[in-house]
Amino acid sequence: MLDKLKDAQHLTPKPLIIPSRHKFLNRKQNEGEGISTYIVKLRALAMNCDYDKDMLNIMLRDVFVSGLRDKMILDRLFEEDNINLEKTLNIALAMEKAFKGVNDIMGGGINSMQTFKKHMDKKSNFTKNQKKTYCSRCTGTNHEKENWVQYKNQKVNLNLYIVKENLDTILGREWLYKIHLDWPAIKAIRAKTEQNLNNLLREYKDIFDDKLGEISNYEAKLKLRPGVKPIFCRVRTVPFALKGRVENEIDRLEREGIIEKVESSEWATPVVPVVKTDGSIRLCADYSVTLNPNLIVPQHPLPRLEEIFASLNGGKQFTKLDFKHAYLQMKVHPESQKLMTINTHKGLYVCKRLMYI
């Protein structure tokens, strides 16, 4: 019996780590595959990757996010800081459930409207034989109000089409044929707009170049609680599939003067590479295990949502600003740079700008 068991073990050898990790890291959410099924399949693939407990949760989160198909869920997750796997799944599952509920409601509403329209058509045909009908638009008799579309001084009777899918609203051939648009004027407006934009880009080329910006006259200075001892964390393992991209990102940060290599440091914080939707790497520092619990944080009351909306009352023009690499635009005070030292597989680096955490 023992011999048979040994033979059975040879028939099912343990999967190799590198192929298993390659398969795990390249797993994407399939079309029509729910969030719950997707994460279950990822967990099954990760079992053969030989990650430790901490790295397993980090890798599950990163691969889960990078493989998601729904852009709205991705955008919502990107609004969060370095959240853990559990919170990532909770957000994704909640949004998936909400989307399903909205689709059910919208689908039911459209069917009800179409059914109601058919019912009313039959009723209208019946009542036309009984008494006169009046048009609410022209007050004429024996016809109902038609679907009139008005564009400037044109009024055209057109069919209105209801589409269930979430698509961009466009003018169909029927509408374009009957509504006469001033195409030369439309093209001229677009050309003028593009010309104005190009003039602005040329005039303020120092603002719109690809170089990293810098907030003037301000530096971030960290204050530690009294009696805090330095914390030095070891390097975390970087997946083989990400190692090259992580090294390129470290080199870029050093080349742009964001980080600077040092030989030794009392403080050292591990880094967490996050794969963005375009495949590039965002290098984050896990200060939750080093600095964050030991900082004196200035307390400032944050306004409530109602107060923010009230302050916008009466506004006519609104602008949404999104700084590229916003954290990195804030310089760090020289005394605080050593506290923010990061520990990578390429060595220790002090941070001269705020790191994304």
Q: pLDDT for 235-276, tens place per residue?
A: 999 999 999 999 999 999 999 999 999 999 999 999 999 998
Contact 91, 76 (CB under 8 A): yes
What is the tens place of the pLDDT at every residue in 309-334?
888 888 888 888 777 777 888 999 99
Cα–Cα distance, 357 to 337 (Å, whole number): 15
11: left (phi over 0), alpha (psi -120 to 50) or beta: alpha
- The beta strand positions in the chain, using DSSP E, are 148-151, 154-157, 219-220, 259-262, 269-275, 281-285, 331-332, 342-344, 347-351
Overall size of the chain counted in residues:
357
Of 342, 328, 83, which is closest to residue 236 (Cα–Cα)?
A: 342
Q: Is the pTM of this model over 0.75?
A: no
Q: Is 61 exposed, middle or buried (0-12, 13-18, 19+ CB in 10 A)?
A: buried
Side-chain-side CA neighbours of 230 within 13 Å: the count stands at 12
| CA-closest candidate to residue 353, choices 337, 338, 342, 344 | 337
Q: Residues with Cβ < 8 Å from 294, sequence gap 6 or more?
A: 224, 225, 228, 231
117 in helix, strand or coil?
Answer: helix
What does the mean pLDDT of the chain come to?
80
pLDDT at 230 (0 to 100): 95
Indicate the SS3 state at residue 310. helix
Asked if 27 and 39 touch (Cβ cutoff 8 Å), the reply is: no
- What backbone phi and psi angles, to 5 degrees, belong to 351? -100, 120
pLDDT confidence of residue 127: 44
Quote the CA–CA distance of 68 and 27 in Å, as a whole number: 10
Q: In the prediction, which pLDDT does 126 show?
A: 42
For the chain, which residues score pLDDT lower than 70?
A: 1-13, 101-147, 182-193, 356-357
DSSP SS3 for 149: strand
pLDDT (0 to 100) of residue 342: 96
Amino acid at 339: L
**The two structure tokens encoding residue 331:** 């310089």
